[in-house]
Amino acid sequence: MAINWFKYSAPTTFYSLAGKLIPWFAVAAAALFAVGMYIGFYIAPVDYQQGEFYRIIFIHVPASILSMFLYLIMAGYAAMGLIFNTRLSAMMATAIAPTGALFAFISLWTGALWGKPMWGAWWVWDARLTSELILLFLYLGFIALHASIDDPRRADRASALLAIVGSVNVPIIYFSVKWWNTLHQGSTIKFSGTSMHVAMQQAMFIMLVACWLYAIAVILARVRSIILERERHTKWINELPEVKHVA
Amino acid sequence: MWLDIWMRENPITYVLLGSYAVAMAIFLVEIALVRHKRALTLQQVRLMQEAGEEE
C-alpha cells in the first residue's frame, strides 16, 4: 500500500498526526530514560581510569549527538522551506531550534562537569569545545533572528539562510578531534568496534534513543503551537475541537 | 578547592546532581514552557474566534 507522504506535509494533516504521536514518544522516552539510568548507574562497572566520573558520558554523548543532528535536520527543513516554499518546513525548523540549543547547552555543561575532575579545568579553548560553543551561538542566533522579524515568512527566509550557512560547523565539530591536536578524546565507538564494556554501550545507546524520543515529542508539541498561531485565521483551525470547546 | 575535595569524595552525587539532575530540570522547564505556550496560543485563537462571532 502506497503512503501519500505529501499529505503529511500539509499543516492540516500534520497537526492531528503530531497530536496522536506525542504521548507515544513521551512515554517511551520516560521509560527509556529510567532504563538507561538504571543500567548506567547500577549495572555498568566503574571505569578503571576515570572512576565514577565517566558516568557523565551517558548524558553527555547523547546530548552532543542530538545537538549536531538536530542542527542538520533544522537546516534541512529550513532549506526545504526556502526552496519549495512549504509552510510546514519553516515551522519545523523554528520548532527544532530551542530543543537543539538546549541539547548543545547540556553537552557543554556536562562536558565541563566531566572536564574538571579529569582535566583539572571546567573549560579549555579546545577545537571540539569551541566549535560546540559556536553551535550553541548559531542556535541562539537563529532563534533571535527569527524573533526579531515581525513578518513570519520573511523571518523564515532570513533564519533559513543562517541555518544553512551555519551547518558547515557540524562537520567541523565532528572532525575537530581528527583535524587538530585536541585535548578532547576521539570517538570511542567506531565502525571497527569498541573497547567499551557491553553495559556501558547499552546504557549509552538507550539514553541516546531516549533523548531522540524526548526531542521528537517536544518538537512535535512545539510545532503544533506554531501551526495554531500561524494558521489562526484559517477555517480548519476554528473547527478544531480544542478551539471550539472551552474548558 | 573545597569543591575539588568534595567531588572526589562524592563522585556519584557530583555526577547525579551536576549533570543528570540539571539535564532533567532543563527538560522539565522545556516541557512546562511548551505546555504554557500551547495554552496561551489556544486562548488567543479562542478569543479571536469569539471576537469574530460577535461582529
Instruction: State mean pLDDT over A202-223.
Output: 96
Asked if residues A112 and A190 have their Cβ atoms less than 8 Å apart, the reply is no
CA A245 to chain centre: 33
**Residue range A88-119, pLDDT digits in tens:** 999 999 999 999 999 999 999 999 999 999 98
Compute how many other C-beta atoms are within 10 angstroms of the C-beta atom of residue A50.
Answer: 15
**Residue range A167-203, pLDDT digits in tens:** 999 999 999 888 888 788 777 767 677 778 899 999 9
Q: Comparing B50 with A76, which gets the higher pLDDT?
A: A76
Instruction: State mean pLDDT over A230-243.
Output: 84
Compute how many other C-beta atoms are within 10 angstroms of the C-beta atom of residue A169.
Answer: 17
Instruction: State mean pLDDT over A232-236.
Output: 85
Asked if residues A196 and A54 have their Cβ atoms less than 8 Å apart, the reply is no
Instruction: State mean pLDDT over A40-57.
Output: 90
CA A4 to chain centre: 27
What local confidence, expressed as pLDDT, does residue B54 receive? 67
Interface of B with A (CB under 8 A): 4, 7-8, 11-12, 14-16, 18-20, 22-23, 26-27, 30-31, 34-35, 37-38, 41-42, 44-46, 48-49, 52
Length of chain A (residues)? 247
**Residue range A119-168, pLDDT digits in tens:** 889 999 999 999 999 999 999 999 999 999 999 999 999 999 999 999 99
Q: Could you give the dihedral angle defined by the CA atoms of residues A175, A176, A180 and A185, in that order, rounded to the nearest 10 degrees?
A: -100
Asked if residues A209 and A4 have their Cβ atoms less than 8 Å apart, the reply is no
Which of A41, A56, A118, A235 to mutate against chain B (most B CBs within 10 Å)? A56
Kindly state whether A137 is in contact with chain B, defined as any CB-CB distance less than 8 angstroms: no
Taking one residue from A and the other from B, the number of pairs with CB-CB distance under 8 angstroms is 83
pTM of the model: 0.93
Q: What average pLDDT does the structure give for chain A?
A: 91
Beta-carbon contacts of residue A100 (< 8 Å; ≥ 6 apart): A66, A67, A70, A71, A74, A139
> For residue A51, what are the β-bridge partners?
A47
Q: Pinpoint the alpha helices (H) of chain A.
A: 11-38, 57-84, 87-119, 127-148, 152-166, 169-179, 198-230, 235-238, 241-244
> For residue A193, what are the β-bridge partners?
A190
Instruction: State mean pLDDT over A192-221.
Output: 92
Which of B14, B15, B20 to mutate against chain A (most A CBs within 10 Å)? B15
> For residue B24, what are the β-bridge partners?
none
